[in-house]
Amino acid sequence: MKINTAEALIQNWTGRTDPETDSWRWHQKIQPVQAGSPAGVALIGFACDTGVQRNHGRPGAIHGPQALRKQLANLPWLQTAPLYECGDIVCDDGDLETAQQQLASHIAAQLQAGHQPIVLGGGHEIAFASWSGLAQHLAAAESQPRIGIINFDAHFDLRDPQCQAASSGTPFAQIAEVCAHKHWMFHYACFGVSRMSNTPALFNRADALGVCYAEDLQMTVPQLNLLQQRLDHFMQACDHLYLTIDLDVFPASQAPGVSAPAARGVSLEVIEPLLIQIRNSGKLRLMDLAELNPELDIDAHTARLAARLIHQMTLTQQ
């Protein structure tokens, strides 16, 4: 495990500079986070594909944070909250568990400082670390925090960690185990899950754990209203939201740069309004983006899509 510091990474935030007034871009606004920085959005990288490798996927997500920052750098600045670079946790030695612990502590520290972290993955093993960071932070003030996990994903990622090493396929089952141990509710929604990409054993585990899910086939524009009602109902039962977006939820034509591209997928047309609903709920504490694999991307389509989602989620409610 190693750390890329915020001060080192800030040098990489370069891009176009325009002569007109009111033409700021992200690379001109981002600052390295410091103790006492006013509350803002805190970007943290998790450069890791050890979980994908353990899950027999295609490596490359370790380069995700760098590719994503490159696309974020040139976005026009429409945001109101300050934006901070907080560095990378790099898992370069196969020791996923240590890297996850480091990321969790880093996230908890940023939350404690009043920031809203956005974590740039990295394989979906990021989710166990992200949730653990939020849990650490909330446990300091609440005995039984009501956390809702919203995952946009073609997969449940509920593989049994008792039968296999922790990986990109196990994070939500790991979280369910920790919740059971702590007597916390496990409130998990998976939007976009595909019958073609999950065995019946995983659907059965989802049912046993009371997971709220919408299949890719149900996630169409005519169904959007119903999906919004279901999302609203899910969000009402919790106080804090952790949003995680596995980019393989999108059709392969929109997101080719992932380990396991979707044959069908769910279109941005449907996902974006749901994300805006989550943003506007006032309960979102933490989000991450998982599975961006620049080595498999085509003309950075997936990285651009991921950057758009981050842009959208950091806008103030209109």
Ligand X SMILES: N=CN[C@@H](CCC(=O)O)C(=O)O
Residues flagged as binding site: 124, 153, 155, 157, 246, 248
For residue 15, the SS3 value is coil
**In the beta sheet, which residues pair with residue 85?**
32, 43
Cβ nearer to ligand X, comparing 193 with 278:
193
Q: Does 153 bind Mn ion (CB under 5 A)?
A: yes
Q: Does 206 bind ligand X (CB under 6 A)?
A: no
Q: How far is CA 211 from the centre of its chain?
A: 18
Nearest to 158 by CA among 146, 147, 171: 171
Q: Does 151 bind ligand X (CB under 6 A)?
A: no
Q: Are 64 and 5 in contact (CB under 8 A)?
A: no
Cβ nearer to ligand X, comparing 110 with 302:
302
Q: Tokens 């390295």 map to which residue?
A: 32
Q: Does 25 bind ligand X (CB under 6 A)?
A: no
Q: Are 224 and 273 in contact (CB under 8 A)?
A: yes
Q: Are 9 and 88 in contact (CB under 8 A)?
A: yes
* Touching ligand X, residues 228-267 (CB under 6 A): 259-260
Cβ nearer to ligand X, comparing 109 with 189:
189
Q: What are phi and psi of 287, to 5 degrees?
A: -140, 155
Cβ nearer to ligand X, comparing 84 with 156:
156
Token pair of 163 as six digits: 């039968």
- Stretch in the footprint of ligand X (CB under 6 A) among 153-161, 203-211, 249-257, 271-279: 153-161
Q: Are 264 and 251 in contact (CB under 8 A)?
A: yes
Q: Does 157 bind Mn ion (CB under 5 A)?
A: yes
**Residue positions forming the annotated binding site for Mn(2+):** 124, 153, 155, 157, 246, 248
Q: Does 281 bind ligand X (CB under 6 A)?
A: no
Give the residue nearest to ligand X (CB): 169
- What span, in angstroms and rounded, lies between the C-alpha atoms of 293 and 123? 9
Q: Does 155 bind Mn ion (CB under 5 A)?
A: yes
- Stretch in the footprint of ligand X (CB under 6 A) among 19-27, 76-84, 151-159, 301-309: 151-159
Q: Does 168 bind ligand X (CB under 6 A)?
A: yes
Residue 192 interacting entry, from ligand X, Mn ion, none, C-beta within 5 to 8 Å by type: none
Token pair of 115 as six digits: 């920031």
Shortest CB 51 distance to ligand X, Å: 7
- Stretch in the footprint of ligand X (CB under 6 A) among 2-10, 82-90, 129-137, 152-160: 152-160
Q: Does 248 bind Mn ion (CB under 5 A)?
A: yes
Q: Does 285 bind Mn ion (CB under 5 A)?
A: no
Amino acid at 287: M
Token pair of 4 as six digits: 């890329």
Shortest CB 199 distance to Mn ion, Å: 14
**Which residues 6+ apart lie within 8 Å of 100 measured at CB?**
125, 128, 129, 132
- What span, in angstroms and rounded, lies between the C-alpha atoms of 99 and 88? 10
For residue 233, the SS3 value is helix
Shortest CB 316 distance to ligand X, Å: 32
Residue-wise over 90-100: b if at least 16 C-beta within 10 A, else e? bbeeeebeebb
Q: Does 124 bind Mn ion (CB under 5 A)?
A: yes
Cβ nearer to ligand X, comparing 85 with 248:
248
Q: Given the rule CB under 6 A, which residues bind ligand X?
A: 55, 57, 124, 155, 157, 159, 168-169, 259-260
Q: Given the rule CB under 5 A, which residues bind Mn ion?
A: 124, 153-155, 157, 246, 248
